[in-house]
């Protein structure tokens, strides 16, 4: 049975996590919001009939109480003919944005057959993303200048008209000044490079490119989504601690410094991306209807059919 046949079940996991986090919006406690989302998502996974494994999650087993890397999921563990599926989860992408009621907090997951998602450590990843028309035109092999000039040429728009999203971090000081020096616009974001990459992949958005360093797990989830949109994405692991270096070496060996193409990060077309909005942004946030039910809006990308759906769930 294809992974995509469990989309409705995986949707329950993200919508439950989003609803659980919603109660913490604006309360100044990202940790509590994350804990609520993790627990809600974890409970749903126990009800899904599959042999699942957390390929990327809340951290190493001794760091995370639930949804740790490698954790078995699902009610069909080890059963014959059970679907063996890898899940990359971020039960609450942008916890700080929930704490402070800022845009683009989401419960996200990517699902693919066992072994199809890069088993990446929770280190950093240098990323580049853009719309489908830029496939084969942009790459981490090139400099920011090269990629921006290529984008200007392919989109037939002046560089001064192009917008590049970069996370507002000290590590990007040089990148930001290079992009501005070339004459392109920089949109800084505090958090949320999954939503930013999805915006960059959308030719109708006001974002043309995503560049810079975010987390590797989010990079693998993004690659799954952009594979479904047939949009270009590349990642290169960036380790900043000895522990991350050792974990990355264990997971990817001598490819630790490689540039990973989108379809290496998500190596199957039988994959699904789901992002359920908590705070409004790329996806509407959780809201309540007159009966007091929570309405959760989700973006679902089915990679096999390259279908993107926006769906409302009433909880």
Give the residues lining the site for ligand VTB (CB under 6 A). 93-94, 169, 191-194, 214-215, 218
Instruction: For the CB of residue 219, give the shortest distance to ligand VTB in the complex, in Å.
Output: 7
Instruction: For the CB of residue 170, give the shortest distance to ligand VTB in the complex, in Å.
Output: 9
Q: Which is nearer to ligand VTB, 57 or 74 (CB)?
A: 57
Instruction: For the CB of residue 30, give the shortest distance to ligand VTB in the complex, in Å.
Output: 10
The CA-to-CA distance between both ends of the chain, in Å, stands at 27
Residue whose pair of structure tokens reads 């489908």 in the numeric block: 132
Q: How far is CA 279 from CA 22, 31, 103, 206, 275, in A?
A: 8, 16, 5, 20, 12
Rounded to whole angstroms, how far apart are CA atoms 122 and 58? 8
Rounded to whole angstroms, how far apart are CA atoms 173 and 193? 17
* Ramachandran assignment for 192, one of left (phi > 0), alpha (psi -120 to 50 degrees), beta (any other): left
Rounded to whole angstroms, how far apart are CA atoms 247 and 136? 31
Instruction: For the CB of residue 7, give the shortest distance to ligand VTB in the complex, in Å.
Output: 23
Contact between residue 104 and residue 197 where contact means Cβ atoms under 8 Å apart: no
Q: Which is nearer to ligand VTB, 83 or 207 (CB)?
A: 207
Q: Which is nearer to ligand VTB, 2 or 280 (CB)?
A: 280
The residues that bridge with 229 in the sheet, in sequence order, are none
Instruction: For the CB of residue 268, give the shortest distance to ligand VTB in the complex, in Å.
Output: 22
Q: Which is nearer to ligand VTB, 193 or 302 (CB)?
A: 193
Q: Which is nearer to ligand VTB, 37 or 194 (CB)?
A: 194
């Amino acid at each position: 049975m294809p992974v995509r046949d469990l989309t409705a079940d995986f949707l329950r996991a993200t919508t439950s996590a989003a609803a659980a986090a919603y109660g913490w919006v604006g309360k100044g406690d990202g940790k509590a919001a994350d804990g609520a989302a993790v627990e809600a998502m974890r409970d749903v996974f126990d009800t899904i009939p599959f042999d699942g494994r957390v390929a990327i999650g809340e951290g190493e087993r001794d760091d995370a109480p639930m949804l740790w890397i490698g954790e078995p999921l699902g009610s069909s563990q080890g059963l014959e003919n059970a679907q063996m599926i890898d899940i990359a989860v971020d039960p609450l992408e942008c916890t700080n944005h929930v704490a402070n009621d800022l845009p683009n907090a989401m419960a996200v997951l990517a699902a693919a057959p066992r072994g199809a998602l890069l088993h990446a450590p929770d280190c950093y990843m240098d990323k580049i993303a853009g719309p489908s028309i830029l496939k084969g035109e942009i790459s981490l092999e090139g400099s920011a200048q090269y990629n921006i000039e290529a984008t200007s040429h392919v989109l037939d728009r002046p560089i001064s008209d192009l917008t590049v999203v970069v996370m507002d971090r000290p590590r990007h000081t040089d990148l930001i000044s290079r992009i501005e020096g070339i004459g392109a616009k920089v949109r800084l974001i505090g958090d949320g490079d999954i939503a930013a990459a999805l915006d960059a992949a959308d030719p109708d958005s006001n974002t043309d490119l995503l560049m810079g360093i975010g987390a590797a797990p989010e990079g693998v989830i993004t690659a799954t989504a952009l594979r479904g949109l047939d949009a270009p994405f590349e990642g290169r692991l960036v380790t900043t601690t000895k522990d991350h270096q050792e974990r990355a070496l264990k997971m990817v060996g001598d490819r630790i410094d490689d540039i990973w193409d989108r379809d290496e990060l998500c190596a199957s077309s039988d994959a699904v991306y789901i992002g359920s909005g908590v705070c409004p942004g790329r996806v509407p946030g959780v809201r309540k209807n007159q009966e007091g039910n929570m309405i959760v809006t989700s973006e679902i990308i089915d990679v096999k059919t390259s279908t993107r759906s926006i769906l409302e769930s009433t909880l």
